[in-house]
Amino acid sequence: MTFPPSAVQSLRIPTFDDVRAAQARLSGMAHRTPVLTSRTANTRSGATLYFKAENLQRAGAFKFRGAYNAIAALEAGVRKNGVVAYSSGNHAQAIAYAAMLQGVPATIVMPHDAPEIKVAATKGYGAEIVFYDRYNENREEIAGRLATKRGASLIPPYDHPDVIAGQGTAALELIEEVGEIDMLVVPLGGGGLLAGCALAAKALSPGCAILGVEPEAGNDGQQSLRKGEVVHIPVPKSIADGALSTHVGYHNFPILQDKVGGISTVSDAQLVDTMRFFAERMKIIVEPTGCLAAAAVLQGAVPCEGKRVGIILSGGNVDLKVFAALMADA
């Protein structure tokens, strides 16, 4: 779902009221994931860190929130025609699972090189998968054609108001649990999670600084904020497979411009080091993309000494063979 800049004014940009409405739809469906702390992490960063563990969410990532909310928000007559989505994995699994729970047919457009664990989970939830070549084909065009042909609703991974609102419930829960924070650091791929969390954080903790973190190899969000318009880049190559977007969404960009104070980047090596930290010291598995925000804080890319900092761990869907190989090479 790509919009030219001239069309942005007509988009429905979500608000905090939409995040609250999403929270009501998700009640009893999405896990209220734990907020984890670590004395070692606090010492290493010089701050008090609160990790929102969305790696423990249903379908293994925060994406379940936006996927379920977007499907639930559809009118019943529309919902029966099914949904189409495109994703490298986490949104794919989330849409497939959320659709299964609501009795809705789902078709997912996935790249040929998507992680095996994510493909298997998506199939396991009953979705039809249509594969494409991420380097030579346009997934948005493929999904758009399928949705039109089938009369289905297209639910993109981040450029959709109800998806953004659903993702924002992660930060809403975090701040409800720990109180106001000085800083919120969030992984950034297409920007749905960051935009939704920014809506919640600014409403519940107005003085909170909000920062996004994306892979060093794919800093389209950083470029976009600096230029003041959505910048498109070639498909980046990084182990953070959930953040290999070529541009941020037009629904979320105005929110990022208004509420996000900056965007940092981290390297693949820093992501691996952070994965090891979580496995060794906190006994949890976090996928590379899920480590983006934490890596920036623990590696010093985001100075936060003396602050109360919320960090979103966005997912834990990493193939164990890949995880073992990354840990062995670290």
Q: Which residues are catalytic?
A: 63, 88, 214, 218, 220, 314
The single residue listed with the structure tokens 């790696």 is 55
DSSP bridge pairs for 83: 106, 153
Structure tokens at 286: 């976090």
d(CA 61, CA 235): 22
* Sheet hosting strand 183-187, strand order edge to edge: 35-36, 48-53, 308-313, 183-187, 209-215, 262-266
d(CA 86, CA 146): 11
Strands (E) in the chain, as ranges, are 35-36, 48-53, 83-86, 106-111, 128-132, 153-154, 183-187, 209-215, 262-266, 308-313
The SS3 assignment for 61 reads strand
H or E stretch including 327?
helix 320-329
Strands (E) in 180-272, as ranges, are 183-187, 209-215, 262-266
Structure tokens at 11: 């988009």
- Using a 10 angstrom Cβ sphere, with 0-12 exposed, 13-18 middle and 19 or more buried, the burial of residue 206 is exposed
Residues 162 and 73: beta-carbon distance below 8 Å: yes
Which backbone phi and psi does 46 adopt, to 5 degrees? Answer: 75, 15
